[in-house]
Structure 1
Amino acid sequence: MIQYFKKYFILLLLLMLTVFFVSILIHNQNLGTATGTLDRIRSTGKLRLITANALNTYSYYEGKPTGFEYDLALEFAKYLNVELDIVTPGWNNLFTYLNQDKGDFIAAGISITAQRLEDAAFSIPYMTIQQRVVHHNLIFGPKNIEDLRFRTFHVRRDTSYHYRLEQIEASGIALNYILHDNIPTEELIAMVNRREIRFTIADSNIALLTQRYYPDIKIGIPIQERESLAWAVRKNDTDMIVEINRFFLHANETGILRKITNKYYENTQDFDVYEIKKFHKRIKTRLPKYKQVIMEESKKYGFDWRLVAAVVYQESHFNPEAKSVTNVRGLMQVTHATAREMGITNRRNPSQSIRAGIKYLGKMYQRFSHIEDKYQRMLFSLASYNIGYGHVQDAQKIAKGKGLDPNTWQALKTCLPLLSKTQYVKTTKHGYARGWEPVQYVERILTYFDILKQKTKSLELTDSQGNGK
């Protein structure tokens, strides 16, 4: 996965440079008529994003906006030194709102298609994806394009999936498709998981992102060559396209694009489906016994209880009798020394173990108070919980020596594995460590955390709607 991203970003940079200079040339030759969008943005101090609610675009968690497209658009607003306003008209109205000047650009994980090029102009791409069949793992999926014959697919209207199925049908392959309005792809995938429908189509990034929440789905064959995701603006809005392209170059050169991409997509392929299914089961069977004490203790330190629950699961699979080969015990796998330091007497007592573990995590969190980004700070704290604060310090020192920012997770995850290599061990204060383990540890916790966020969000939504009725 990491090698894929390296190749992807090199190719993306070359593509960005090529398209950027072409766009500058077009701009200088005054081809097309600029709409004055950029001037209006600067004069009002408002950048209006048109997007849709979905996992990969824009949603709320704990009262705060999140999502890949939102994060990237927020960086664009910072780049322009303006505020970001959000407009969410529903999937079927994105381009209507754009052309009615109800927003300045669309950022919603949309691919460049011939049909869409008739309605808007597109920026340089920021990601490549591929349309894939999604079905339940108990249902046999198609083996090739010809095998789509006589199957029924559920997709959203006027999407790249809709257009592609039309093309396949026109080629002589008799298939059926049912069109839905203003429904996110992830909800269609959820319907596949519940076996309410048999097949849908999803971009590969959405399918991979969603699979951790619905481990019973299977990502099947591709039905299209790789496509590019990009932002859309009104036709002939040349100044806006040029500025967006400049921003993408800036985001690539400064690492902003890589950071946001890693945050949402880096771990989507690096998990065991069996383990994820086991986690989903234990959320129901084991977590309820400890949920209340996790919530109470997490609140004392300002931690999200779902993150702490993910830590507990990674440590012990919610088993209070868990014991490691190094004789750490209990739900939070507390050592004798840590138990004494945190003031508990029985490591196998669930409440004591949770209290001690969260208290110790809080201690690590305080040690990284110089890291302003709370998300990055927590990743450092988790790594320290696993491998020890001293080894994290050693990795930070290595990062600094390599010219990397020692206060970023990207640098730390690069340098932690070096703690097992002889040429680096001899320069460290705390000696040898299996530095790849805390990297895997943190990334697994983030996967579990992501699942718990989505699970609790779904439950809250169902409760607010009267048990879904």
Structure 2
Amino acid sequence: MKLFFKTYGLLCGLVFICLVLVSWAVLIHYQKTGKFPPTYEQIISSGRLKLITHYAPSTYYTYQGQPTGFEYDLAKEFANYLDVDLEIITPGWNNMIPYLEKGKGDFLAASMTITRERLDHVVFSIPYMDIQQHLIHHRLVFGAKNIEDLSGKTIHVRRGTSYHYRLKQLKENGINLNYILHDNVSTEDMIKMVAQRDIKFTIADNNIATQNRRYYPDILIGIPVQKKEFLAWAVNPKNQKLQKEINAFFLWGIQNGIIELIQDKYYGNKENFDYFELKKFHERIVTRLPKYKDLIIKESETYGFDWRLVAAVVYQESHFNPRARSFTNVRGLMQVTRKTAEEMGIDNRLKPEQSIKAGIKYLNKMYLKFKDIDNPYQRMLFALASYNVGYGHVKDARQIAVEKGLNPDKWQVLKQMLPLLARSKYYKKTKYGYARGWEPVDYVRRILTYYDILKKKL
């Protein structure tokens, strides 16, 4: 009996050692083949966070050689939060979840909705945005009044998207619609195809649709085809510690305004849409801008400004008309005042080269006044507002923010404070007095709209 227990104990020990060795071998195999996700601790110790995303304007893309996009900016903030570097992986839409499952990336951020199908493969963070799917069609094509009206229509969507799953569900529920699946065509490209009337219908989330409507004014955002859904980041089910850190980051980002700032940058003001105004702008990009493009590029490079942003300012000021005059008697392409013209060293505001030179020089002067604002994007918004309403009034609005216990370095705050300068309760206590403070807010909004379009088209 003692021999049995001794032999049995030895056998159990050998089995235990074998199990440990096998487990260790499996772990090494997973790590070598990229099929086992790095733990949160390994991510931190490596100093590198791998983002799986989709290359598209609504998520991640490069502009002038620099990475940008909503998901990229948010992921970059998360990497900063963890104090690690961010690495981008773009395997293609249908490969993103398989890459995450195989451990080829740490998390997935690609404007992805939480669906039952995806929950079979990944775990999601808490949501950071709610969206809704809509039918997209050309304004010369009849849309649908309700879901039943989709019967008989052919709708184009990308395979494997939430749009695909929704159309499949509608068809199973008795809606006699047809859908065509595409493997290598993005939602943005299908919206473009609708605008060009290559296809009649597609489906897009409202945030993507409103963003693209400014590029293609002839599209209409039709009926919703799904209840509101939620966007979230996804992680491998084996890495729930990372999921918890993402959730903590989102809560922190909501509290300190970082998420609001990024949402405002990419999706703010998208609902303000004037079809005729944007059609006119698209037309004048072709008919008027080329006359002044080289001048704008040359002077913009002097100060390190994106020439497309400056072109957006020129259009907002004069619609690319060198003889434009306002009711306050400012004149020329960049609507320079007589006093500013003298200060900037020009003698003829109606000459395009002089107006552009003076306007950009003055914009740079305003930009330099906000050295205390670290974020260059925020800083430029403050400079644009100052170009319109004057530095003194912007300074007054910042002081009001301070008195209210708000952050005077954030545009989301300033655009709420500026309109208060038209109310006696506030402007009587300021140094520079009354101002039509709603005007610089609208001014900046319009410039950002034009700038967004120019980045897309030029």
User: Is TM more than 0.5 here?
Assistant: yes
- State the alpha-carbon separation in 1 of the partners of residues 160 and 119 from structure 2: 13
Instruction: Tell me the equivalent position of 1:43.
Output: 45
Indicate the residue corresponding to 1:62 in structure 2.
64
Residue 418 of structure 1 deviates from its aligned partner by 0.9
Mind listing any 5+ residue stretches in structure 2 that lack a counterpart?
Answer: 1-35
Tell me which residue corresponds to 1:82: 84
Q: 1:292 aligns with which of 285, 294, 297?
A: 294
The answer to whether structure 1 residue 180 and structure 2 residue 191 are counterparts is no
8 Å CA contact 2:37, 2:103 repeated in 1:
no
Task: Please list every run of at least 4 consecutive aligned residues from structure 1 whose deviation after the TM superposition is greater than 4 angstroms.
Answer: none
Structure 2 partner of 1:427: 429
**1:273 equivalent in structure 2:** 275
Matching residue of 2:23: none
In structure 2, the partner of 1:7 is none
- In structure 1, the residue matched to 2:171 is 169
Distance 1:147 1:410 in 2: 41
Q: Name 2:155's counterpart in structure 1.
A: 153
8 Å CA contact 2:331, 2:337 repeated in 1: yes
Contact kept, 8 Å, 1:161 with 1:201, in 2: the verdict is: yes
Q: Quick one: distance in 2 between partners of 1:411 and 1:142?
A: 40
Tell me which residue corresponds to 1:375.
377
Q: Summarize the alignment of residues 258-269 of structure 1 with structure 2, pairs less than 5 Å apart.
A: 258-269=260-271
Aligned to 1:322: 324
- Does the CA-based 8 Å contact 1:53-1:184 persist in structure 2? no
SS in 1 for 2:396: helix
CA displacement at 1:370 relative to structure 2? 2.5
How far apart, CA to CA, are the structure 2 residues paired with 1:317 and 1:270?
19
Residues 156, 181 of structure 1: 8 Å contact kept? yes
Mean Cα deviation higher: 236-245 or 166-175: 236-245
The letter of the residue matching 1:92 is: N
Indicate if the aligned counterparts of 1:92 and 1:182 stay in contact, CA closer than 8 A.
no
Contact 1:91 1:183 in 2 (8 A): no
8 A Cα contact 1:121 1:236, kept in partner: no
Q: How far apart, in 2, do the equivalents of 1:165 and 1:208 lie?
A: 21
Partner amino acid, structure 1, of 2:331 = R
> Aligned partners of 1:182 and 1:58: how far apart in 2?
17
- The residue that corresponds to 1:137 in the other structure is 139
1:442 is aligned to 2:444:
yes
Contact 2:51 2:87 in 1 (8 A): yes
What amino acid is aligned across from residue 51 of structure 2 in structure 1? L
TM-score for both structures, normalised by structure 1: 0.89
Q: Which residue number corresponds to residue 208 of structure 2? A: 206
Give the C-alpha shift of residue 241 in structure 1.
1.5
SS class of match (2:135) = strand
Supply the AA of the counterpart residue of 1:185.
T
Q: Once the two structures are superposed, what CA deviation does each residue of 1:428-466 show, in whole Å capped at 9, x if it has no partner?
A: 11110001100110111011001000111xxxxxxxxxx
d(CA) in 2 for partners of 1:231, 1:378: 30
Q: Does 1:106 align with 2:108?
A: yes
Structure 1 window deviating more from structure 2 (157-166 vs 239-248): it is 239-248
Q: CA deviation at 1:36?
A: 5.4
Contact 1:123 1:231 in 2 (8 A): yes
CA distance in 1, matches of 2:166, 2:418: 44
Q: Are the counterparts in 1 of residues 51 and 108 from structure 2 also a CA contact under 8 Å?
A: yes
* TM-score scaled by length of structure 2: 0.91
Is 1:221 paired with 2:223? yes
CA distance in 1, matches of 2:101, 2:95: 10
Task: Give, as a single letter, the amino acid of the residue that structure 2 aligns with 1:257.
Answer: I
Secondary structure, aligned partner of 1:77: helix
**Residue identity matched to 2:98:** T
CA–CA distance in structure 2, aligned partners of residues 372 and 242 of structure 1: 29
Do 1:121 and 1:235's aligned partners in 2 also have CA atoms closer than 8 Å? yes
Give the distance between the partners of 1:161 and 1:408, measured in 2 at CA.
36
Q: Equivalent residue of 1:338, what SS? A: helix
**1: CA distance between counterparts of 2:118 and 2:158?**
15
State how 1:345-364 maps to structure 2 within 5 Å.
Answer: 345-364=347-366
Structure 1 residue aligned with 2:346, among 344, 362, 372?
344
Partner secondary structure for residue 158 of structure 1: coil
Contact 1:35 1:236 in 2 (8 A): yes
- Which consecutive residues of structure 1, in runs of 5 or more, have no partner in the other structure? 1-33, 457-469
Q: Provide the identity percentage.
A: 63
Q: More relative contact order in 1 or in 2 (CA 8 Å, sep 6+)?
A: 1
| Structure 2 counterpart of 1:127, one-letter code | M
How many Å apart are 1:93 and its aligned residue?
A: 0.4
User: How far apart in 2 are the matches of 1:406 and 1:177?
Assistant: 50
Partners of 2:175 and 2:378 in 1: how far apart?
A: 50
Correspondent of 1:332 among 328, 331, 334 = 334
Measured after TM superposition, the shift of residue 372 of structure 1 is 2.0
The equivalent position to 1:197 in structure 2, one of 196, 199, 211, is 199
Task: Give me the whole-angstrom Cα distance separating, in 1, the residues matched to 2:238 and 2:100.
Answer: 13
1:243 aligned partner: 245
The answer to whether structure 1 residue 308 and structure 2 residue 326 are counterparts is no
Cα deviation for residue 56 of structure 1 reads 1.1
SS across alignment from 2:137? strand
